[in-house]
């Protein structure tokens, strides 16, 4: 595993963590709240954004207008069964989701959830670091690189890990502020 591959994998881990953060409610309407919800569409799980046009008419409302009106009730059921905690309003043409203001208690729950996602992102980074260090050690054992080169590459991998862990912590700090902002 080359250093460029290690860095690429670490960037992907950070991007994945950011996408996961986007699924957490902050009190404002955001189409990314629906990213995790899958709808059973002709036997296969399909994301809502592939089945409907999602708009935000105002800061506290999401409007979902299916491309196929026959899927309206299926989408409504999937939202009701999901863990986003919103009640869908079906008017026969579209589904409206009113985003209520968050209580302080609910905000704290979301911060805990974001903290858990942060830790998962850090674990992913550590796994990439471990794989990178293992591959460097294998090269050293096979006498393809010297001990000094091995130590140098391991240090570079550790510095990369520290950089991306700090990046995840920074993103978490921003998300926490966003969640706690009234």
Distance CA 48, CA 20 (A): 16
| Residue with the larger pLDDT of the pair 77 and 24 | 77
User: Torsion angle of alpha carbons 51, 56, 61, 63, nearest 10°?
Assistant: -30
How does residue 63 score in pLDDT terms, banded at 50, 70 and 90? very high
Q: Average pLDDT in the 57-77 region?
A: 88
pTM, full prediction: 0.73
Q: Say which CATH number the domain at 56 has.
A: 3.30.1360.40
Query: Are residues 109 and 165 located together in one domain of the fold?
Result: yes
CB 170 within 8 A of CB 16: no
The answer as to whether 138 is a domain residue is yes
What's the whole-number average pLDDT of the chain? Answer: 89
Which CATH number goes with the domain that contains 151? 1.10.132.20
**Residue partners of 55: CB distance under 8 A and separation at least 6:** 62, 63, 65
- pLDDT per residue as tens digits for the range 120-155: 999 999 999 999 999 999 998 998 989 999 999 999
Same structural domain, 108 and 176: yes
User: What is the Cβ-side half-sphere exposure of residue 154, based on CA atoms within 13 angstroms?
Assistant: 16
pLDDT at 103 (0 to 100): 84
Radius of gyration of the chain, Cα coordinates, nearest whole angstrom: 22
**For residue 173, pLDDT beyond 90:** yes
Q: Is the dihedral of CA 131, 134, 136, 139 positive or negative?
A: negative
State residue 21's pLDDT score. Answer: 87
Q: Into how many domains does the chain fold?
A: 2
CA distance 57 to 46: 24
Q: Which domain holds residue 39?
A: 31-98
Indicate if the pLDDT at residue 17 is higher than 90.
yes
Residue ending a domain, among 98, 130, 156, is 98
């Amino acid at each position: 595993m080359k250093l460029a591959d290690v860095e690429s994998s670490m960037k992907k881990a950070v991007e994945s963590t950011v996408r996961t953060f986007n699924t957490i409610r902050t009190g404002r309407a955001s189409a990314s709240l629906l990213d995790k919800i899958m709808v059973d569409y002709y036997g296969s799980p399909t994301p809502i954004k592939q089945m409907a046009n999602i708009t935000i008419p105002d800061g506290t409302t999401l409007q979902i207008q299916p491309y196929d009106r026959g899927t309206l009730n299926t989408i409504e059921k999937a939202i009701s069964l999901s863990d986003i905690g919103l009640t869908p309003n079906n008017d026969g043409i579209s589904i409206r989701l009113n985003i209520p203001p968050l209580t302080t208690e609910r905000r704290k729950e979301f911060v805990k959830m974001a903290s858990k996602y942060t830790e998962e992102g850090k674990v992913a980074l550590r796994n990439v670091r471990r794989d990178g260090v293992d591959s460097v050690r294998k090269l050293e054992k096979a006498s393809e690189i010297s001990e000094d080169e091995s130590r140098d590459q391991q240090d570079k991998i550790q510095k990369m890990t520290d950089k991306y862990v700090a990046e995840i912590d920074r993103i978490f700090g921003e998300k926490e502020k966003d969640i706690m902002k009234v």
